[in-house]
Amino acid sequence: MLEKLHPDVVDAYEKALKARENSYSPYSHFKVGAAVKFKGFEQVFYGCNVENASYGATICAERNAIWSGVAAIGKQDMEYLIVVADQEEPVPPCALCLQVISEFYDAEMPIYLGNLKGIQKVYLLKEILPVPFNNFVA
């Protein structure tokens, strides 16, 4: 567990952990939970991975959490994101999720990676995705 975490971050971690329990993952058997906090909003949104027999229709926990937030309060700037899986070396968001996260871009945003024992690592978004595709001229 990382030291000196803000209680709100620990609370969001607990929500991600709980959401993970609802993971529908009969194909990979890999349960993931995520929680997202948006700037200026107290409420924390959470999600789990939901798989599908057509594997490509699977949704990751991170995107599930982010889209649930968008449905409730619209597109907002993200303050931090938490990902939880049952793995010693905690998993980062996949590249598809990073692309979605970059739409809510704040290079300094922390991404906390946890397992069942707690939050183990923290990266800034700019460390995981240094060159995002989020600005183009049509």
Which residue lies nearer to ligand THU by CB, 37 or 63?
Answer: 63
Q: Which residues bind ligand THU (CB under 6 A)?
A: 25, 28, 30, 32, 49, 51, 58, 60-62, 83, 91, 93-94, 97
As measured in angstroms, the least distance from the Cβ of 4 to ligand THU is 25
Residue 62 is a catalytic residue = yes
As measured in angstroms, the least distance from the Cβ of 62 to ligand THU is 6
CB 128 within 8 A of CB 95: no
Catalytic position from the list 62, 88, 89, 108: 62
Which residue lies nearer to ligand THU by CB, 69 or 93?
Answer: 93
As measured in angstroms, the least distance from the Cβ of 27 to ligand THU is 7
State how far the Cα of 37 lies from the Cα of 96, in Å rounded to an integer: 19
DSSP-derived secondary structure for 25-72: -TTT---EEEEEEETT---EEEEE-B--SSGGG-B-HHHHHHHHHHHH
Q: Using CA atoms in the order 135, 92, 14, 102, what is the torsion angle rounded to 10 degrees? A: 0
